[in-house]
């Protein structure tokens, strides 16, 4: 899978993607993230990528020409399954969306800044709009990193234990059960006996029960869609 991210602040993203599992995903050849600096596509002498909003009001707007130029250049090189704009008025991002996106081959994530992007960018190029939650950030870089991280870790082979992404919260509409590691006892607080029993079927049943209880307590709304 290849994810191209378009931003006017590339430095916010390059360090994020050069660490941890995302870097490993790249080195193993499962996923490649390429960050594009919008300013490289500005024809303005000061590399300007934003301008005042027509009609007045506070806040700058990202211009259409550099965004169109980078998207068209990328489209001339390969075909894209989705061109996604990160925006607070988009569809709320969730695990099923991450699952679906992880099956795609090439996607573009466009990060807005300031007041956002010229509406014509959205009308002409964007195939999907995603919000990471009902709050406003100053740029689309963190949202793009959220989407890329959650999608890439789902690609088979990226995580060491292939099943581990499937046992995370929200898969199957359940929250994850509690996890423990050594020591088996800390200042008198013991790990549940069953986890030390070595009995796989019992452990699995215990984890399922814990998942259900935990979900009932914290997110009963999820259980409505849980197919039991």
CB of 28 to ligand SAH, least distance (A): 29
Beta bridge partner(s), residue 3: 33, 107
Contacts of 136 (CB under 8 A, 6+ apart): 88
Instruction: Find the binder of ligand SAH among 7, 42, 87, 173 (CB under 6 A).
Output: 87
Asked whether position 88 contacts ligand SAH by CB under 6 A, the answer is yes
Q: Which stretch binds ligand SAH (CB under 6 A): 17-25, 43-51, 137-145, 170-178?
A: 137-145
Q: For the window 167-196, what string marks contact with ligand SAH as x by the rule CB under 6 A? A: ------------------------------
Q: What is the DSSP string of 101-143?
A: HTT-SEEEEEE-BTT-B-HHHHHHT-SEEEESSSS--SBSHHH
Residues that contact ligand SAH, how many (by CB under 6 A): 19
| Segment interacting with ligand SAH (CB under 6 A) among 44-52, 83-91, 96-104, 152-160 | 83-91
Residue 54 engages ligand SAH in binding (rule: CB under 6 A): no
User: Which alpha helices (DSSP H) does the chain contain, by range?
Assistant: 11-17, 20-27, 64-77, 95-101, 119-124, 141-152, 200-218, 220-223
Q: For residues 168 and 171, what is the distance between their CA atoms, to the nearest angstrom?
A: 6
**Residue 97 within binding range of ligand SAH, rule CB under 6 A:** no
CA distance 122 to 128: 9
Binding residues vs ligand SAH (CB under 6 A): 86-89, 111-113, 115-116, 131-133, 135-140, 143
């Amino acid at each position: 899978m290849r994810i191209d991210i378009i931003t006017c602040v590339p430095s916010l993203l390059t360090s994020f993607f050069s660490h941890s599992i995302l870097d490993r995903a790249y080195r193993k050849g499962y996923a490649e993230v390429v960050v594009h600096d919008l300013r490289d596509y500005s024809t303005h002498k000061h590399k300007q990528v934003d301008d005042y909003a027509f009609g007045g009001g506070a806040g700058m707007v990202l211009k259409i020409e550099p965004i169109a130029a980078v998207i068209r250049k990328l489209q001339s090189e390969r075909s894209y399954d989705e061109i996604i704009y990160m925006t607070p008025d988009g569809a709320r991002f969730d695990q099923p969306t991450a699952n679906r996106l992880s099956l795609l081959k090439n996607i573009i994530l466009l990060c807005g800044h300031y007041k956002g992007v010229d509406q014509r960018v959205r009308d002409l190029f964007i195939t999907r709009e995603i919000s990471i939650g009902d709050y406003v950030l100053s740029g689309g870089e963190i949202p793009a990193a959220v989407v890329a991280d959650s999608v890439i870790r789902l690609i088979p082979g990226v995580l060491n234990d292939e099943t581990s992404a499937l046992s995370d919260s929200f898969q199957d509409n359940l929250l994850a059960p509690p996890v423990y590691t050594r020591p088996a006892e800390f200042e008198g607080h013991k790990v549940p006996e069953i986890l030390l029993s070595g009995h796989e079927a019992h452990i699995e049943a215990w984890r399922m029960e814990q998942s259900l209880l935990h979900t009932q307590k914290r997110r009963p709304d999820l259980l409505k869609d849980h197919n039991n």
